[in-house]
Amino acid sequence: MSHYPRKSDINNLDTPLGKCLTLFQRKLLQKSLQTNLPDSYRQRINIMLLADEGKSQSEICKTLGCCSATARHWIHVAHSGMAHQWQDSPIGRPKSVNDRYLERLKELVSHSPRDYGYPFGRWTGQWLSKHLAKELGIQLSDRNVNLLLKKMGLSTYLFFKIK
């Protein structure tokens, strides 16, 4: 039995040559390292490449200076066959409120809820939260909606009381 890969294995980019990555994934990750990437993205790629070489979590942490949770996560990604989707996980906490959300919130409180088919005449933080979650898919608590209104210098009490 030969220890060299068969010619058919070399032509098949899905055949794993390391511990967990396919040849396609390894080449994709290596090529990505040649581009201008933030350090956090470089780190996740290097974690997966080192895991593919058979390095342990503690060896990877020591080599790259990363925490064990980061190493564990990206080692798991590599072993689960999802290494080629390394960019699908953005860095940092996702920002749920964007400019579109704020503009829409401002627009809603400047109109009566009746204009949008509601039976009541004044918005509450809870109803604004529900409406925006349905419309924009961003779920915030009524308390956070009221805090946003306060930061914008607005209030649900300033607009459209029940007539």
pLDDT one-digit tens code per residue, 29-84 = 999 999 998 898 999 999 999 999 999 999 999 999 999 999 999 999 999 988 88
Q: For residue 41, what is the enclosing H or E element?
A: helix 39-52
Q: Of the candidates 144, 138, 149, 136, which has an alpha carbon nearest to the alpha carbon of residue 109?
A: 149
pLDDT of 2 above 50: no
Q: What are the sequence ranges of the domains in the chain?
A: 15-87, 99-151
User: Is 70:47 a contact under the CB 8 Å cutoff?
Assistant: yes
Tokens of 12: 């098949």
Q: For residue 87, what pLDDT is reported?
A: 82
Q: Annotate 103-114 with DSSP letters as a single string.
A: HHHHHHHTS-GG
Summary count for the chain: helices (H), strands (E)? 8, 0
Predicted model pTM: 0.52
Q: For residue 157, what pLDDT is reported?
A: 63
